[in-house]
Amino acid sequence: MNQVVPNFAWYLAEGTRLGLKSPRCPFASVHACPRYYQSLSLLGSAGCSPIKKEVDDELLGRWKKHPLWPVTGEQETGISGGNDVPNGYHNFCPEVAYDTFKLFATYLGRHVGEIDRDIAAAQLAKEGAPYDDPRWTWCSVVPQHYIECPLYSGLSHGSPSHITPAADNNQGQQPRPNPTIPNPIAANAVPQRRFRVALSFPGEQRSYIEKVAALLECVHGRDKILYDRFHEAEFARPDLDVYLPNLYRTSSDLICIFLCSDYARKRFCNLEWRFIRQLIATEDHARIMFFSFDPIGAIPDIGILSGDGYVSIGTRSAIEIAMLIDQRLAL
């Protein structure tokens, strides 16, 4: 039986299989989900940065009145472990688990004791398990996608998707409106432009960019990614040197430019950039996101300056880059 590694690639694949539009849970907030709140709050006593006490106390008081708050010990989120060393995380929010341990899981149990760790390490070495196999650290992991969370259905239908403010003591006054939590799916469901992401890159980096494009396709759909091989029939035209660069400037929500020493020498990169750079002096400059394969600094020939910020790719995987792109889209 294949070992399931509930990393981001698995999460994306599950979301695609299930036909979901959002790669991450739309209720992943201490203000929108009691399990997310409880998981994050408990981590504060397990070595992670705690929520400020006054904020935590207020959130706890409000969430306890919510219909989805656990009423039995079996439903509660919990952390267990002896000698103040946490080694079990129960009924955890998979979104919080991923942000903390890089695994989308509702239960994680560490190897307890040196003997258990040594036995596990010997077995994994015998199997030739990769370094990122969670079994090096965890004796048990129960993967969970957000749509499988028992609270997701209640939050989506029927139960309030947010907590109400503390009640006023003054009688006879109109109640204050409830604060609402924006739904990322609704916010991004109808983009203003044809493409969510446009990828500009030199051909020498195609093998890497192809992986990034495939991951973005899983989240947004092929027709929402401006990547040449996703639109070959459309791009087989005489005026491509004008048509394609204009799509970057006018029809893309986020333009990802992958820089390297070859970028400035490529004809289509220069054509694309000639149109893209028109955005820099406008309020649309935030639609541009730079990545770099090399520590190239400025490229004055095409107007990229040393003060321009970029993401250094280095040894980062395509999954990490796709995640950063989705994070930028959410801003």
Encoded tokens for 89:
């995380």
Read off the pLDDT of residues 203-230 as tens digits, 9 standing for 90 and up: 888 999 999 998 888 778 889 999 999 9
Burial 220-242 (b: 16+ CB within 10 A, else e): beeebbbbbebbeeeeeeeeeee
- The CB-side HSE value for 148 (13 A sphere, CA atoms) comes to 16
Buried b (16+ CB within 10 A) or exposed e, 311-321: bebeeebbbeb
Q: How confident is the model at residue 331 (pLDDT cuts 50, 70, 90)?
A: confident
User: Where are the CATH 3.40.50.10140 domain residues in the chain?
Assistant: 191-330
Which segments of 18-106 does DSSP mark as H helices, in order? 34-43, 53-63, 94-101
Question: 191-330 in CATH: which number?
Answer: 3.40.50.10140
**What count of other Cβ atoms lies within 10 Å of the Cβ of residue 272?**
26
For the chain, what is the mean pLDDT?
80
Confidence of residue 82 (pLDDT cuts 50, 70, 90): low
Look up residue 85 and give its amino acid.
V
Q: For residues 191 and 75, is the Cβ–Cβ distance under 8 A?
A: no
For residue 52, the one-letter residue type is: K
Print burial letters for 31-70: b (CB count within 10 Å at least 16), e (below 16).
Answer: bbbbbbbbbbbbbeeeeeeebeeeebeebeebbeebebbb
Our separate counts of H helices and E strands in the chain read 12, 9
Q: In the sheet where 138-143 sits, what is the strand order?
A: 78-80, 88-90, 105-110, 138-143
Cα–Cα nearest to 326, from 94, 12, 5: 12
* pLDDT winner (highest mean) among 1-10, 81-90, 179-188, 236-245: 236-245
pLDDT, tens only, 88-117: 899 999 999 999 999 999 999 888 777 877
Whether the CB-CB separation of 14 and 145 falls below 8 Å is answered with: yes
Residue of 282 and 108 predicted with greater confidence: 108
Compute the distance between CA of residue 79 and CA of residue 151 in angstroms, rounded to an integer.
19
* pLDDT score, position 170: 41
